[in-house]
């Protein structure tokens, strides 16, 4: 058993649904508290000081006497999508601790402070805004707007944080913390199978596609499924269905991606026409112009289909992330460090969002990817082989040693 597998096995049962085998680690829930307790214990075991910033992001510090200057930070997130896999997020946090364990065992003493961070609500699975913790930290979202976000049960972020013992009044940009950071390197399971095709265990990120989330509300008229003539209906399901197909077509035509992964039919009776359909569009593209073109086509289709069925449509943006190109100098430095370790790391773009992409607006940021043999992610079937995870830890340790000096 290695330190990595020890940490992996400890975290594995937390927040796992016995039925699906997937994770339901939503922010500020019991499962989230279990993940945070695990991280605090792990940090303490390594002699690191764990604490929280005002946005609820966890920071575990390795600050041996004599270390000074801008900190080198690694980490990722511990929350999950509904029925997510074990790797998306936790692999980066576990690998961060495992890499520090490796460096300490080798007698390495960093010249600069080193931290492992776990950002809150990266997936936006509970409150709708992806990378919420890093957005708050960098000022990319207004703290009042964040406090007012509500989950599916109507609980606000402010209420959920208070119930978890955190003070939501502290939410917001933290320039002092950001000024103390020199670089952020996030290790993540690859959410695609490019590395498998290239026969490489580890890769380096080039950038992140532009992406965003939009909510579409189709308001119709509730009625009886067995008595109302087709011609007399105002059924919101019909324009919604047409919009799903239009989104697929727009993505295919324009070279982007568009997904409706969440939908609510209200009130949800089998024998009733819905009064409303609420649906969430996730759209992504290699550049912002293409993303906007995909969105335009989807909204046009939804508008036309809604008018044809006398359904009222409203569209609102829940989050948006511009195209990110990671610091080329830092990426090249990572490739060079790995090359010296005998690791050939291809440089890859990704369509997946990450806190590293948000932090890149404020400090040099980079990412390491670990091979995912099937490419499946956001699913209980997400996987990376242990040998590749260990290679990721070795790669991260080499990168941290290089950046934190000796």
Chain residues binding ligand GLV by CB under 6 A are 123, 130, 352-353
The option from ligand GLV, Mn ion, none interacting with 130 (CB < 5 to 8 A, set by class) reads: ligand GLV
The option from Mn ion, ligand GLV, none interacting with 143 (CB < 5 to 8 A, set by class) reads: none
Q: How far is the CB of 1 from ligand GLV (least distance, A)?
A: 29
Alpha carbons 242 and 302: distance in angstroms, whole number: 7
The option from ligand GLV, Mn ion, none interacting with 117 (CB < 5 to 8 A, set by class) reads: none
The option from Mn ion, ligand GLV, none interacting with 396 (CB < 5 to 8 A, set by class) reads: none
Q: Considering the complex, state which of residue 201 and residue 283 has its C-beta at the smaller distance from ligand GLV.
A: 283
CA dist list (Å): 306 to 216, 257, 314: 11, 23, 10
The option from Mn ion, ligand GLV, none interacting with 353 (CB < 5 to 8 A, set by class) reads: ligand GLV
The option from ligand GLV, Mn ion, none interacting with 89 (CB < 5 to 8 A, set by class) reads: Mn ion
- The beta strand positions in 86-161, using DSSP E, are 114-119
**First and final CA of the chain: distance in angstroms?**
28
Q: How far is the CB of 205 from ligand GLV (least distance, A)?
A: 13
Q: Considering the complex, state which of residue 130 and residue 391 has its C-beta at the smaller distance from ligand GLV.
A: 130
Report 60-89 residues binding Mn ion (CB under 5 A). Answer: 88-89
**Residue 133 corresponds to which tokens in the numbers above?**
């913790």
* Residue 214 C-alpha from the chain's centroid: 16
Q: Considering the complex, state which of residue 256 and residue 353 has its C-beta at the smaller distance from Mn ion.
A: 353
121 binds Mn ion per the rule CB under 5 A = no
Among 134, 61, 137, which residue's Cα sits nearest to residue 97? Answer: 61
Q: Considering the complex, state which of residue 88 and residue 388 has its C-beta at the smaller distance from Mn ion.
A: 88
β-sheet bridge partners, residue 223: 273
Q: Considering the complex, state which of residue 353 and residue 392 has its C-beta at the smaller distance from ligand GLV.
A: 353
The DSSP symbol for 154 reads S
Q: Which residue matches tokens 């609102």?
A: 316
* Residue 354 C-alpha from the chain's centroid: 5
The option from Mn ion, ligand GLV, none interacting with 392 (CB < 5 to 8 A, set by class) reads: none
Q: How far is the CB of 88 from ligand GLV (least distance, A)?
A: 6
The option from ligand GLV, Mn ion, none interacting with 137 (CB < 5 to 8 A, set by class) reads: none
Q: How far is the CB of 378 from Mn ion (least distance, A)?
A: 6
Q: Considering the complex, state which of residue 130 and residue 358 has its C-beta at the smaller distance from ligand GLV.
A: 130
Q: Considering the complex, state which of residue 166 and residue 354 has its C-beta at the smaller distance from ligand GLV.
A: 354
Q: Considering the complex, state which of residue 86 and residue 313 has its C-beta at the smaller distance from ligand GLV.
A: 86
Q: How far is the CB of 113 from ligand GLV (least distance, A)?
A: 28
Q: Considering the complex, state which of residue 118 and residue 160 has its C-beta at the smaller distance from Mn ion.
A: 118
β-sheet bridge partners, residue 150: 156
**Residue 355 corresponds to which tokens in the numbers above?**
């806190």
Q: CB atoms < 10 A from the CB of 10, how many?
A: 13
Pairing of strands 347-350, 202-208: parallel
Q: CB atoms < 10 A from the CB of 366, how many?
A: 27
Q: How far is the CB of 217 from ligand GLV (least distance, A)?
A: 21
Alpha carbons 186 and 114: distance in angstroms, whole number: 13
The length of the chain in residues reads 406
Q: How far is the CB of 268 from ligand GLV (least distance, A)?
A: 26
Residue 392 neighbours by CB under 8 Å, 6+ apart: 91, 95, 187, 201, 202, 368, 370, 384
Q: Which residue is nearest to Mn ion (CB)?
A: 88
Alpha carbons 54 and 136: distance in angstroms, whole number: 9
**Residue 380 corresponds to which tokens in the numbers above?**
């209980």
Q: How far is the CB of 256 from ligand GLV (least distance, A)?
A: 14
The option from Mn ion, ligand GLV, none interacting with 190 (CB < 5 to 8 A, set by class) reads: none
Q: How far is the CB of 291 from ligand GLV (least distance, A)?
A: 14
Alpha carbons 293 and 256: distance in angstroms, whole number: 9
Q: How far is the CB of 297 from Mn ion (least distance, A)?
A: 26
Q: Considering the complex, state which of residue 121 and residue 235 has its C-beta at the smaller distance from ligand GLV.
A: 121
3-state secondary structure 327-362: CHHHHHHHHHHHHHCCCCCCEEEECCCCHHHHHCCC
Residues that bind Mn ion (CB under 5 A): 88-89
């Amino acid at each position: 058993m290695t330190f990595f597998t020890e940490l992996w096995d400890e975290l594995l049962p937390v927040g796992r649904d016995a039925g699906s085998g997937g994770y339901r680690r939503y922010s500020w829930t019991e499962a989230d508290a279990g993940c945070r307790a695990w991280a605090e214990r792990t940090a303490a075991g390594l002699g690191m000081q764990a604490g929280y910033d005002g946005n609820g992001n966890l920071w575990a510090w390795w600050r041996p006497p004599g270390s000074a200057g801008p900190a080198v930070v690694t980490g990722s997130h511990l929350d999950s999508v509904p029925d997510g896999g074990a790797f998306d997020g936790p692999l980066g946090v576990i690998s961060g601790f495992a890499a520090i364990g490796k460096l300490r065992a080798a007698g390495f003493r960093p010249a600069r402070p080193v931290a492992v961070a776990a950002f809150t609500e990266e997936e936006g699975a509970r409150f709708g805004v992806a990378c919420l913790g890093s957005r708050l930290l960098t000022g990319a979202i207004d703290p009042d707007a964040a406090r007012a976000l509500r989950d599916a049960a109507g609980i606000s972020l402010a209420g959920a944080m208070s119930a978890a013992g955190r003070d939501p009044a502290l939410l917001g940009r933290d320039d002092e913390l950001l000024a103390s950071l020199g670089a952020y390197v996030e290790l993540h399971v690859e959410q695609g199978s490019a590395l498998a095709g290239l026969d490489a265990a580890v890769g380096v990120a080039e950038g992140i596609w532009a992406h965003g989330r939009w909510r579409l509300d189709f308001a119709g008229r509730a009625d009886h499924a067995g008595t109302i003539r087709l011609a007399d209906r105002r059924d919101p399901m019909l324009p919604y269905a047409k919009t799903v197909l239009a989104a697929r077509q727009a993505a295919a035509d324009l070279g982007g991606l568009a997904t409706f992964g969440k939908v609510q039919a209200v009130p949800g009776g089998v024998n009733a026409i819905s009064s409303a359909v609420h649906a969430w569009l996730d759209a992504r593209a290699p550049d912002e112009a293409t993303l906007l073109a995909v969105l335009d086509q989807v909204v046009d289709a939804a508008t036309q289909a809604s008018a044809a069925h006398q359904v009222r449509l409203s569209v609102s943006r829940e989050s948006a992330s511009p195209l990110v190109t990671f610091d080329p100098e830092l990426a090249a430095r990572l490739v060079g460090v790995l090359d010296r370790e005998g690791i050939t790391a291809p440089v890859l773009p990704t369509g997946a969002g990450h806190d590293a992409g948000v932090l890149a607006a404020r400090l040099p940021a980079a990412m390491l990817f670990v091979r995912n043999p099937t490419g499946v992610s956001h699913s209980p079937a997400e996987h990376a082989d242990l040998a590749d995870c260990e290679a990721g830890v070795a790669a991260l340790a080499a990168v941290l040693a290089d950046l934190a000096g000796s």
